[in-house]
Structure 1
Amino acid sequence: MESNSLNPASLPSGTLIGRWRLLEQCGRGTFGVVYRAESVDGTQGVVALKLALHPGDARFVREAELLSRIHHPAVPRLLDHGQWQPREGASYAWLVMEWIEGAALYDWASAQRPSSRQVLHLLARVARALEATHAAGGIHRDVKGENIRVRSADGQPFLMDFGSGHFLGASTLTWDSWPPGTSAYRAPEAWGFVLGPGKPPPVPYAPGPADDVFALGITAYRLVTGKYPPSPHPRGEDAWLWHPEKLALWSASTHNARCVPELSALVSRMLSLQPEARGRAEEVAEALERAARKAGPEAEVPLFTGEEARPAGLFPPLQRVTVRPPPRAARWPGLVATSLGASLALGAGVLWSTRSFELPEQPHLAEGEEAKDGGTIAVGDTALTAPVAPERVPSMWPAIRAEVPPKPFPKQRRPNGEGRCSGKELVAINGGCWAKLLVELKDCDNMGGFVHKGVCYFPVWELQRPSTSGPANRDDAP
């Protein structure tokens, strides 16, 4: 095959890239494709070669630099990197890492049914990987179950996919308010920064080590319960569950009685509203290791019996724990900001403030590639477990985009008799009221938006007001 006819998305077996010979394609993400490969001299064995789908993609260069700074047994070793030029004027970045044979975290747990002690050891090792990442001046920015692989040979976990990562001194590649990451794992302070009062922030939100720790907490919670915790989205219907007095309603041990208290408490700690309360990755790792040593014999009981209604499939849909809401309608988003503003003023109040338009209670997740593990925009070691998509020429934008539906959603705000929506920055589209979000179209799905005439929009929901009949019950207030 002529080199100028090679497409990075569908290279044949035997293609040479640097000193590596491709064996087979394993999967494909939005920005990269992963191949099994071997060294031409046969000395290295099977490796994972990740190749950019778009020429000049600086994400791969940044990922290679970050990986070269991290030296930890729970992070795949960077073996090589470079530029592939199939024709003049086109250069595609690539990098080679050690091959980790194993399953993604949630699938491993579903098959192996680990005990609380096993999970404590596993989370401690991942926390140590984050410690090494942060010590190198880096941030992972996309910690989640699909980016943690458990090696089949010895059950050791590995933190994968640093394609969304960043490190001190690296140039900013995008200037959207939202950095790369997965919406279901975003920390409360990220939601508060981007969706706070006033105009959109002039600079993107800058995740820190505490964001990685929070995402590890989300990962741990889903690992133990099989579902995501309530969303910290400030306009979410479950926002009241983040009140300090309500946290016990949805702790890990509440939804899985087999989870020992030591593990449940550490999961809750990682999910603290205040970043400083979570602790540094090093502190979290030490606490997990200490709990694994000191937990009693009940920590040996498998967390799952195999009869639970756990999400099925390699990439289960987004499911959250459910808690019976209080009878007072004060749990509705519009009232949460008022009733909780004072009690959460010490560092957490920003979570509940919103802009002048209403937002959906949960980020919308498109079906298919962008809905894996809560949605993703990472470069894609996750493609290692993804089925290979039908061959197509790569484009600069994801192919999956949800268009504004032809009619409004149930409970979506409607325009007035003049066809206008009350509220600043709201527009009427197809019989419903929508709020425009200033993000690139490639990020619209991941942000929970819908596309209309080349612009990303959020649906605006009607706020349900509490009944004024009967006295208020203070004990029911969130």
Structure 2
Amino acid sequence: MRVCTQCGRTTDATGDCPSCHGSLITMTRLEVDGNAALAAQPEEELIAGTKVGDYEIEKLIGSGGMGNVYGAVHPLIGKRAAIKVLNARFCADHEAVRRFVREAQAVNKIGHANIVDIFSMGDLPDNRAYLVMEWLHGETLMDRLERAPLPVEHTVAILISLTRALEAAHAAGVVHRDLKPENVFLVPEDESFRVKLLDFGIAKLETRRAPTRKTATGMTVGTPLYMSPEQAKGIAIDGKSDVYSLGVLAYAMVCRTTPFEDEASPVEVLHAHISKTPKPPHKHVKDVPPALDNLILQMLEKLPEDRPAMPEIRRRLKALDGGGFETFTGETRWPITPMSGTPKLPAKRARWPIAVGIAAVVIGSGVFMIVRAKTAEEAKPVVVAPKVEPPPAPPAAPAKGTLELVVEPSTATVLVDGEPVVLAKGRAKLELPVGDHAIATNATGYRATEQSVAVTSETVTPVAIKLAKQQRNGGARPRPRPTKDVDAVVDPFDKKKKPR
């Protein structure tokens, strides 16, 4: 049976619709959550000239496990757009589609410059949902990394833009869940670039539609190489999951490989995210700035509460090179520098499907079950049973050092990294992660101070802070003139003549 994409009538005819001459799409019956439904065949493509909302399809420009992306144009005003049409198996669950719509609405209310704009959506006559998005010219971050290594300043610029986009999304209650180089787009503008983050909400939609089993302890979705430990475990996630994935993305930008690229299977990659400590970036690239190396490792902490927040990440990125990146904004741009002469490194793409649903992750028994996205060649669940090995050693605790403060006056207020410190007779001793820490001190009647102190591993770093008193009237108080009798009463009206 075939359905017209314009008038919605069903027919057994071939070619165009006999009623309105619109395009026809082949329909198939499928079962969703026990209910029968009609949907387009997954391989059905929209042909050139097909009307989708106010736009006409020009050509297919991309496809994936979730659906197809088409180039389209408005026939009257000539505005170009990209239209993503979701596969029927994701559109049959109307509640899942509504959840996706709410997420898209939340992101677009922000209207952030570093998030791809979605300005329309709807349903085709065969019930397949579609999104109308801004047309982007340029290349993905994956394409850029495959061509040549990124300079550190470009890496920092891209990361600053992404922290702004993600912070805005998290404020709207949206967690991206699928950060990876393919979802970061670089749009050239004159002699600069603009960073765009793609595909908000898709991961949650796919989580909803993934098959479930009685043995499942959780369900998650994403790209294994970039998934957080929480995603690998199939437990609830929040914005700190995006922090981890952004750390993996930063690692890939600096090293051109991911922390667990060499694992043999998707299951072992997920296991590594949960239990293995990544190799520091400077082990791959010698000239990584220590501050960036340390920041990436902190973003890759196993426990969400041990990872820095997005504003803190952005502050530390800007502080690199003595604040040399302070000029970068939410629409981060930078001059293009020639890369001729830079050796090409072997590109490494993810070797597994983009979307992987985890039906069960039972670490202790060594049994892992993966439900893979359906492709043209395979559609059956894959069960992987790795060799039973001894439990891995617990991950090493992050290196820490001791900061010992002596403050005068003892009534002063002290903030370390924005957190108040309790002083006991003007002293305090703090256990802090290795790295730079900001100390702000103030007290009534004294000049406030701010400074940065480096804490080193397993050592005591003493810091003495003595606030200077504020000067009155903008200068030092004048000294009184000495008199012979300090107890004498001076008559202010007694004007003595000065000798000539």
Q: Does 1:461 align with 2:498?
A: no
CA drift at 1:157: 1.5
Q: Distance in 2 between matches of 1:227 and 1:63?
A: 31
Counterpart position of 1:256: 285
CA drift at 1:234: 8.5
Counterpart of 1:49, as a letter, is I
Counterpart position of 2:415: none
Say which one has the larger Rg.
2
Counterpart position of 1:83: 123
Please state which structure has a larger fraction of its residues in strand: 2
Q: Quickly say closer, same or farther: Cα 1:425–1:278, change in 2 above 3 A.
A: closer
Please state which structure has a larger fraction of its residues in helix: 1
CA drift at 1:6: 2.2
Counterpart position of 1:408: none
Which of residues 220, 245, 259 is equivalent to 1:179?
A: 220
Q: Distance in 1 between matches of 2:50 and 2:23?
A: 13
Counterpart position of 1:53: 87
Counterpart position of 1:20: 55
Q: Does 1:6 align with 2:44?
A: no
Q: Distance in 1 between matches of 2:274 and 2:169?
A: 31
Report which structure shows greater RCO (CA 8 Å, sep ≥6): 1
Do 1:49 and 1:94's aligned partners in 2 also have CA atoms closer than 8 Å?
Answer: yes
Counterpart position of 1:97: 133
Q: Quickly say closer, same or farther: Cα 1:293–1:126, change in 2 above 3 A.
A: farther
Q: Distance in 2 between matches of 1:272 and 1:425?
A: 22
Superposed counterparts of 1:62-461, under 5 Å = 62-70=99-107, 71-85=111-125, 90-111=126-147, 113-153=149-189, 154-166=192-204, 172-174=208-210, 177-191=218-232, 193-194=233-234, 205-230=235-260, 242=277, 250-291=279-320, 294=323, 306-311=342-347, 316-318=348-350, 365-366=351-352, 370=353, 375-376=354-355, 435=367, 437=369, 441-442=371-372, 456-461=382-387
Q: Distance in 1 between matches of 2:274 and 2:121?
A: 44
Q: Quickly say closer, same or farther: Cα 1:171–1:211, change in 2 above 3 A.
A: closer
Q: Distance in 2 between matches of 1:17 and 1:165?
A: 24
Q: Quickly say closer, same or farther: Cα 1:436–1:23, change in 2 above 3 A.
A: same
CA drift at 1:240: 7.6
Counterpart of 1:215, as a letter, is S
Q: Distance in 1 between matches of 2:318 and 2:324?
A: 10
Counterpart of 1:262, as a letter, is A
Counterpart position of 1:387: none
Q: Distance in 2 between matches of 1:424 and 1:141?
A: 22
Report the more deviating stretch, 32-41 or 454-463: 454-463
Counterpart of 2:296, as a letter, is V
Q: Distance in 2 between matches of 1:155 and 1:215?
A: 23
CA drift at 1:224: 0.9
TM-score (norm 1): 0.59
CA drift at 1:48: 0.8
Q: Quickly say closer, same or farther: Cα 1:236–1:92, change in 2 above 3 A.
A: closer
Q: Quickly say closer, same or farther: Cα 1:455–1:39, change in 2 above 3 A.
A: closer
| Partner SS for 2:127 | strand
CA drift at 1:141: 0.6
Do 2:65 and 2:373's aligned partners in 1 also have CA atoms closer than 8 Å?
Answer: no
Q: Distance in 1 between matches of 2:310 and 2:163?
A: 5
CA drift at 1:56: 2.6
Q: Distance in 2 between matches of 1:143 and 1:235?
A: 16
Counterpart position of 2:411: none
Do 1:116 and 1:303's aligned partners in 2 also have CA atoms closer than 8 Å?
Answer: no
| Cα shift readout 1:399-436 (whole Å, capped 9, x = no counterpart) | xxxxxxxxxxxxxxxxxxxxxxxx9998xxxxxxx947
CA drift at 1:102: 1.4
Counterpart of 1:457, as a letter, is V
Do 1:214 and 1:278's aligned partners in 2 also have CA atoms closer than 8 Å?
Answer: yes
Q: Distance in 1 between matches of 2:203 and 2:169?
A: 10
For structure 1, the residue ranges without an aligned partner over 5 or more in a row are 195-204, 319-364, 379-422, 427-433, 466-478
Q: Distance in 1 between matches of 2:223 and 2:294?
A: 24
Q: Quickly say closer, same or farther: Cα 1:292–1:73, change in 2 above 3 A.
A: farther
Do 2:67 and 2:85's aligned partners in 1 also have CA atoms closer than 8 Å?
Answer: yes
Q: Distance in 2 between matches of 1:260 and 1:143?
A: 23
Q: Quickly say closer, same or farther: Cα 1:190–1:109, change in 2 above 3 A.
A: closer
Question: What is the root-mean-square deviation of aligned Cα atoms in Å?
Answer: 4.0
Q: Distance in 2 between matches of 1:376 and 1:229?
A: 19
Report the more deviating stretch, 300-309 or 210-219: 300-309
| Partner SS for 1:460 | coil
Do 1:436 and 1:457's aligned partners in 2 also have CA atoms closer than 8 Å?
Answer: yes
Q: Distance in 2 between matches of 1:171 and 1:235?
A: 17
Q: Quickly say closer, same or farther: Cα 1:97–1:236, change in 2 above 3 A.
A: closer
Q: Distance in 1 between matches of 2:242 and 2:272?
A: 25
TM-score (norm 2): 0.56
For structure 2, the residue ranges without an aligned partner over 5 or more in a row are 1-15, 27-39, 326-334, 392-500
Q: Distance in 1 between matches of 2:106 and 2:152?
A: 32
CA drift at 1:225: 0.6
Do 1:115 and 1:303's aligned partners in 2 also have CA atoms closer than 8 Å?
Answer: no
Q: Distance in 1 between matches of 2:284 and 2:269?
A: 23
Q: Distance in 1 between matches of 2:184 and 2:363?
A: 42
Aligned identity (percent) is 22
Q: Quickly say closer, same or farther: Cα 1:455–1:218, change in 2 above 3 A.
A: closer
Do 2:103 and 2:174's aligned partners in 1 also have CA atoms closer than 8 Å?
Answer: yes
Q: Quickly say closer, same or farther: Cα 1:295–1:252, change in 2 above 3 A.
A: farther
Give the aligned length: 324
Counterpart of 1:460, as a letter, is P
Q: Distance in 1 between matches of 2:374 and 2:24?
A: 32
